[in-house]
Structure 1
């Protein structure tokens, strides 16, 4: 056994290159396998820690007629509730430098939804505020700056005690971690930023909502089934409480309305009765002075009778009117699954799970395939040594164990290193890349995922170990005398090209030999094509992701939205002021065309699916094609703007499950109901209409429904409010664009100015971090390709060492011998590239659909340049390996070919 151990370690030193290559290739495979499959767990773990640290609400309760202090007390006393707090929310307008923003003002909870400070401190009195740090529009707001909130004009918002607040801090709001801030009941229907103030700064009789922390939920994983079960049980209890609280609130409001109406009616009836009694008494005693005591007695008697009769009559009438005027309230108990940023983050983490089901498996299989080949070849080339050991009396277990533990040691070494690197590096990289779209999550934790680590190492060890055992067992079946003789080379056979004499006759010896060898060594042919094709496919996915993700801004804002700038008109300004903005823009030097549009936030519904979107409504459709291209993504066919029906953006149609010809439901807030929204927590009335989808249009960013003004008015009975001006102008420098924007923003009727250049930059910045992920994938695939080619070439040379020596004896120069071998490698590489094109294109499509975020549709095509680059890189790797292996060919001893087989 001591000799066996020495020989075992001697074998490792002797073939250290092979041992190291197995370690490296297994390391790459297991790193991607365990790392990518652990990314979802790491993302969710980091998010759960963030939610726990900020005490993000487990439940949010909304009441259509508000929530009272008594309701909050009842919620707090409900079994399973740890903490309950009432909260306020109101939408206001804030003029911030050159923009008019829609701000959602939230009350700062004492214990729940605690913001993460990035600068300054939390508000301490009713005149201070905390500004949302998670959106770009507030980046220039400084500590100490005063913000003025209005109701759309210069009036103070009726739900706030003051209109001016001093900024004392900036921070991230835990329930708003993505870049969207939800809808609003004023302005253009969408919220630009969040501001938090103390509850005493609000002037409201009841809360607009309540926030709840569930008892014991903080100790659970928020994405687990146990958490869902816990919250589900509490939700049922609070829904039951909500029914009782709604009845109490309804009765309270009705009684209050009845008391006011009765008091007013009785007061009037009493006054009228007293006056009538005095007049009647005076008519009965004309010309006489009536004693004061008599007048008082008659008046009181009349008033008493009138009060009793009026009270009875007015109470019945007032109650009837109150019950008709006041709608019965409802409570809505919303869990974290109704928080848009929470759901979006969970979906993106789940996408990593989906990606981990296929992508790393392919990476791992390519690595395992080559490892298997290397170990199988090692056993085959040492058949003489196995035969010798068998003849000397060594047992089968001892002989097989030598190779089995060699394979397992190399595989486990590579697997352990790969898992350690992969589970720390890849999840962190992916988590930080997504972090640019989810603000506030400053910790990107990467706990060890033991399940995936063990699975990766076990799968790698099993694949190489089983293959090694199979190869050894196959050899052990032979007798020692057979094993001690070299294996007879495979016999040649006629190839199909020999049936094409006009081609075959014009080939020289080396080309004929090359073709015969390619067909004779079918196993090597398949292994090389699959190995190179897999690596080529992974490279293509990396470059394809770069094409699909980083180019969407240009696709959207150069090819589809072809205007250069967008002006937002102040909807609260006078018509005269808005008209001045239009005239100034149209008369500006260099402006070639303008178009007025309306853009309104709506909710689209179809077959149980729903999606927030913007309705795009041009004032005139005849020239809108100068600003907007509507087309089919696949065929490129362009369409006119729809006069009837509607066009739907492609990603939106996919998420809703809509096809051309389907009818969708559009839910919107009418202009009238927005103005009449209740100050006590009520929301604007939701209205709906159905419309047929006539086309599905190419679109990459946000969700759109394209509709004509006539069709909107026909469906809603309301005229669209055209508050956006699209502008085309001759190519401008950045200074000229800034000057143009400054000129318009100085006008009272303008509340915003943005250029397509800035939009492109914002999107490129947002997606730029994903380049890190792409380059990791590209570099890893390149390294895998190099190692695969090295192993396969090394095996090829070892298998044909005697053949190479014979060629040298026959007079072939080193270069000719090298070309004899490497020509085959290059041909197999070309076959691998073709296979990689097909495999990579399919895998790219799957990857894009999997990693796509809700607000964007990534491109579906890979550029021609990427195909060329990937092919050139793969060929380059093959050439580099050939040059590296050329040294091995030069070292082949010609005497080997003259030795007897015996």
Structure 2
């Protein structure tokens, strides 16, 4: 075996470029997939552990003046294991002369069974201590720590309270306070906890307005729970939200699924292309060793020794590539993806976990590489050594075929003959071109689609300067106060929509007269006046519900148990929010909770109103969105760079392997008098044929793949329009052409340096 080991080392040194190309393909495939997989697997494990430690409730009831008797009766429901009431109050505070808000929950030793925030610093939560525990993100951004004091304000009451510690809670992993916020703003909003005794001392009263439920394993529908709670609480009841419908929790699930789907769909194409290329490369590498295999058999080496020797080619390269890929993916790719999610989600621990799916991928690549080498070796080994030692297999020649009397020029005959004799090589070249186009269009297209969609939202849909929240004031009073100002009021709610058994959650946006929110017909792109339509529905939601103009859909809001039925009169191109748009006169009670402000005069007036708070500019919204988009671009960078590198490696590898297979043909042509330019003309003709075929297949396929990719990775809360900019598309096309030309130039230099005497020396 020592001779085989020496040969093994010599072969790797002589053909290191081809071995490195296989290694790179394995490395990129494993690093992209395993990096992303470790994030979503780790996030899922971290969040599951987080929910258990904080005793996350199964359902949340909102109401007013909820009595102890109501809570006691709720506990008696057959499917309820535990029910605990608490008081939720929004306090204003000012830190470093900047206004912010703290959303405070009261607690007792009993409520911690269903609301047990995770202590990050300071004293454990105790219901007999006077102080406040604030969320860690809010504390960090304001440089607050245990022992500091802050002033809380609520309806004229001011109280300086001591910070006893910092906490995190799974309920608020994605902490946004209004529809106006696109990403969490920890500087302006935070959550906190105060003992029931101390909040009673501050406000002089404790009035429960929320109840958390722990349900038994026996499933209960939301509609049944609503009916039972309504029966118990009567007019005190406002709404119920199941755990799986709570915004913060659904956002986590959506973001985990988004990474999962993004990695899966991109990686499927990526990995299939890599594996196909790896298999072809290994097969052709071994095929070029035909003489050596025949010599080894003639010298008396056993078949199993030859199989093991060549199988080690594939196994060694694949295992090195996979191991380096795991390390790179785990340290670089995973960290980039994780930083994106850290911009919007808050977890106490961010785990990276190596899942079984990553192990399956590595085993698959190892198997493909090893089997490719062994299967190709077997084709040679089973032949008579007297043939293989001469570089031939025992099979009949194809003969001159249809080209014998052809009028085509020799160079075209040579090109077509080459394609006919080597269909797998041609297929792989075309597949590499198609795959390169598909992957690069997907990477750049997601970038363009995301950017274009948000540009459309902030340039066409949202035409206000500021947006604020409205609390506790009627529309009549507000319209009177702002009669001479440029504003538009809206009532924004979460709603459940249903049509023919299909159910989807989304937003209900009831609009006052005005043009601060603009919607456009999905087909004609004409602006729609909501005053003339009963219901306009976002196109993505319409597609999900299979709704057409004229259909009647049902909806229920969080604040009402009654089902409303409305007729769809328009399907609109609205990226965000995904839901339905209704004019205020079409609903029974219009209770605005949002104000859209058009100019600085209206903004100054809104700041004076106690019922209006949380005012932020559209520029701030855009900056928040840009921050999120910039982080998402990190994933796009990874995918785009990986697609480009893979394209270069595959096309280069196929080009060099084709050269090695035709080495003697090129030498023969030079000997019989073909000029270098004539030989390269034949090479370029075959390359152009492959390119044209690849473009014909790849261009339409890439556009369809982009549509599928956008549909799969987008979230229900916003519609992304699949698009790739013309300049980016041209970059893809020119890159593929450039890669092919570059490979041909490399081949040209090698052909020029061929030693004709050495190349045509008799094998015997």
With normalisation by structure 1, the TM-score equals: 0.70
Q: CA deviation at 1:886?
A: 4.4
- Partners of 2:275 and 2:124 lie apart in 1 by 55
Secondary structure in 2 aligned to 1:802? helix
- Quick one: which of 709, 721, 728 aligns to 2:584? 709
- Partners of 2:138 and 2:539 lie apart in 1 by 27
**1:663-702 to 2 correspondence within 5 Å?**
663-668=552-557, 686-702=561-577
- Partners of 2:603 and 2:754 lie apart in 1 by 75
Please say if residues 116 and 172 of structure 1, whose CA atoms lie closer than 8 Å, have aligned partners that are also in contact.
yes
Secondary structure in 2 aligned to 1:862? coil
> Is residue 652 of structure 1 aligned with residue 541 of structure 2?
yes
Alignment partner, residue 23 of structure 2: 23
Q: CA RMSD in A?
A: 4.7
> Is residue 147 of structure 1 aligned with residue 152 of structure 2?
yes
Q: CA deviation at 1:642?
A: 5.2
Q: CA deviation at 1:465?
A: 2.4
Secondary structure in 2 aligned to 1:341? helix
- Quick one: which of 641, 663, 668 aligns to 1:779? 641
Please say if residues 557 and 760 of structure 1, whose CA atoms lie closer than 8 Å, have aligned partners that are also in contact.
yes
Please say if residues 315 and 370 of structure 2, whose CA atoms lie closer than 8 Å, have aligned partners that are also in contact.
yes
Q: CA deviation at 1:8?
A: 2.4
Q: CA deviation at 1:68?
A: 3.3
Deviations 1:466-525 (A, max 9, x none): 2323222222232222212234986565579x99x8xx6xxx765664455445532222
Alignment partner, residue 349 of structure 2: 443
Secondary structure in 2 aligned to 1:707? strand
Alignment partner, residue 286 of structure 2: 379
- Partners of 1:595 and 1:181 lie apart in 2 by 21
Alignment partner, residue 372 of structure 2: 467
Name which of structure 1's ranges 847-856 and 191-200 shifts more when overlaid on structure 2. 191-200
> Is residue 419 of structure 1 aligned with residue 416 of structure 2?
no
Please say if residues 269 and 435 of structure 2, whose CA atoms lie closer than 8 Å, have aligned partners that are also in contact.
yes
Instruction: Specify the structure having the higher radius of gyration (Cα).
Output: 1
Structure 2 stretches lacking a partner, 5+ long: 181-187
Alignment partner, residue 177 of structure 1: 173
Alignment partner, residue 605 of structure 1: 497
Secondary structure in 2 aligned to 1:23? helix
Please say if residues 153 and 159 of structure 2, whose CA atoms lie closer than 8 Å, have aligned partners that are also in contact.
yes
Secondary structure in 2 aligned to 1:553? helix
Secondary structure in 2 aligned to 1:601? strand
- Quick one: which of 610, 615, 620 aligns to 1:758? 620
Please say if residues 547 and 859 of structure 1, whose CA atoms lie closer than 8 Å, have aligned partners that are also in contact.
no
> Is residue 805 of structure 1 aligned with residue 699 of structure 2?
no
- Partners of 2:288 and 2:137 lie apart in 1 by 63
- Partners of 1:70 and 1:597 lie apart in 2 by 35
With normalisation by structure 2, the TM-score equals: 0.82
Please say if residues 611 and 652 of structure 1, whose CA atoms lie closer than 8 Å, have aligned partners that are also in contact.
no
Please say if residues 618 and 708 of structure 1, whose CA atoms lie closer than 8 Å, have aligned partners that are also in contact.
yes
- Partners of 1:854 and 1:119 lie apart in 2 by 39
Deviations 1:808-858 (A, max 9, x none): 334555565445435533542453344333333233223222222232222
Q: CA deviation at 1:779?
A: 0.8
Q: CA deviation at 1:530?
A: 0.9
Secondary structure in 1 aligned to 2:532? coil
Alignment partner, residue 615 of structure 1: 509
- Partners of 2:535 and 2:595 lie apart in 1 by 20
Structure 1 stretches lacking a partner, 5+ long: 155-161, 185-190, 214-230, 251-325, 586-593, 670-683, 730-736
Q: CA deviation at 1:889?
A: 2.8
Deviations 1:572-624 (A, max 9, x none): 499889756553x5xxxxxxxx453433325232136242414242326xxx4
Please say if residues 548 and 860 of structure 1, whose CA atoms lie closer than 8 Å, have aligned partners that are also in contact.
yes
Q: CA deviation at 1:705?
A: 2.2
Please say if residues 561 and 629 of structure 1, whose CA atoms lie closer than 8 Å, have aligned partners that are also in contact.
no
> Is residue 724 of structure 1 aligned with residue 595 of structure 2?
yes
**1:300-699 to 2 correspondence within 5 Å?**
327=234, 336-438=243-345, 440-449=346-355, 451-487=356-392, 510=411, 513-514=414-415, 517-518=418-419, 520-566=421-467, 572=473, 583=484, 585=485, 594=486, 596-606=488-498, 607=501, 609-619=503-513, 624=515, 628-632=518-522, 636=525, 638-641=527-530, 643-656=532-545, 658-668=547-557, 686-699=561-574
Please say if residues 668 and 686 of structure 1, whose CA atoms lie closer than 8 Å, have aligned partners that are also in contact.
yes
The alignment of Structure 1 onto Structure 2 pairs a total of residues equal to 735
Q: CA deviation at 1:444?
A: 2.1
Name which of structure 1's ranges 404-413 and 204-213 shifts more when overlaid on structure 2. 204-213
- Partners of 2:572 and 2:152 lie apart in 1 by 41
**1:118-157 to 2 correspondence within 5 Å?**
128-129=131-132, 144-150=149-155
Change (3 A) 1:91 1:386: same
Please say if residues 833 and 874 of structure 1, whose CA atoms lie closer than 8 Å, have aligned partners that are also in contact.
no
Change (3 A) 1:48 1:720: closer
Q: CA deviation at 1:556?
A: 0.6
